[in-house]
């Protein structure tokens, strides 16, 4: 009996799983795709620091294993961490005050907030953590990589900014309905918003100028890697 191989996706919210879960399960077959939903952005939490972020992620993996009693740590083939950029690398001068911006309002060349100082501090904190994580390739002995959606998931998948929370579930269902029988169109979409071919270059790109509020994602790099890995294993199996 062949060993189960799980691709564990650590994501911020339910809409990530609803939008991507079934598509990734089909694209990555026979690997098993599982999700752990943080219910927030661990990279921007006030308590998150570069020195404790790996411990926090290890805890998420451990909680996933405790919730899935039949799965062992050794079954996890790799961890994929998906994060929204939320304008994290923009110049502070591009963060502008607006009394009406109770929630941050993102635009392609600036963002609005009624708490500018807090956003600048958040960005510094999140930058430090992302800079640590995108150079991390092993997490608790498991292959790990972090990929981004810019400015956020809905911006990448729907080309819409500033989506209300109550609309995200509906948009996720619409997305899966549109692509579940057109998986290669989904792959083509992710390739379209991918700005660089190499993982390291993709992170250097997103740090430049206003790119972290513009539409972009490097997740295609990870998708391509996994799909090619599966094809390689299949070809090796056919030759034995």
227 or 235: which carries more pLDDT confidence?
227
78 belongs to a structural domain: yes
What would the mean pLDDT of 180-204 be, rounded to a whole number?
Answer: 98
94 belongs to a structural domain: no
Got the DSSP string for 139-186?
ETTEEEEEEEEES-HHHHHHS--S--HHHHHHHHHHHHHHHTT-HHHH
Exposure string for 135-165, b = 16+ CB within 10 A, e = fewer: eeeebeebebbbbbbbbbbbbbbbeebbbee
- Residue 2 is predicted with a pLDDT of 61
For the cut 60, the answer to whether the pLDDT of residue 240 exceeds it is: no
48 belongs to a structural domain: yes
* Tokens coding 171: 């948009």
117 belongs to a structural domain: no
* Tokens coding 3: 């060993």
How confident is the prediction for the chain on average, in pLDDT?
95
233 belongs to a structural domain: yes
Contact (CB, 8 A) for 152 and 87: no
For the cut 80, the answer to whether the pLDDT of residue 173 exceeds it is: yes
106 belongs to a structural domain: no
226 belongs to a structural domain: yes
Domain count along the chain: 1
pLDDT tens track for 2-29 = 689 999 999 999 999 999 999 999 999 9
Look up the pTM and report it.
0.95
100 belongs to a structural domain: no
* Domain span at 24: 6-88+130-238
pLDDT tens track for 27-48 = 999 999 999 999 999 999 999 9
């Amino acid at each position: 009996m062949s060993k189960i191989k799980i691709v564990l996706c650590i994501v911020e919210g339910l809409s990530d799983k609803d939008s991507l879960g079934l598509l990734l399960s089909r694209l990555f077959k026979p690997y098993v795709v599982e999700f752990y939903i943080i219910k927030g952005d661990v990279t921007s939490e006030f308590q998150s620091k570069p020195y404790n972020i790996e411990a926090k992620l290890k805890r998420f993996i451990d909680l996933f294993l405790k919730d899935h009693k039949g799965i062992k740590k050794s079954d996890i083939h790799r961890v994929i961490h998906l994060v929204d950029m939320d304008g994290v690398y923009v110049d502070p001068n591009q963060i502008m005050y607006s009394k009406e911006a109770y929630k941050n309002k993102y635009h392609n060349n600036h963002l609005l907030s009624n708490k500018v100082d807090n956003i600048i501090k958040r960005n510094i904190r999140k930058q430090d953590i992302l800079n640590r994580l995108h150079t991390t390739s092993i997490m608790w002995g498991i292959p790990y990589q972090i990929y981004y959606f810019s400015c956020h998931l809905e911006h990448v998948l729907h080309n819409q900014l500033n989506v209300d929370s109550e609309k995200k579930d509906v948009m996720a269902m619409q997305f899966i309905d549109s692509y579940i029988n057109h998986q290669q169109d989904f792959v083509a979409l992710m390739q379209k918003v991918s700005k660089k071919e190499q993982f390291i270059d993709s992170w250097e790109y997103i740090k430049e100028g206003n790119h972290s509020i513009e539409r972009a994602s490097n997740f295609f790099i990870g998708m391509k890697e996994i799909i090619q890995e599966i094809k390689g294993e299949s070809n090796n199996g056919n030759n034995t």
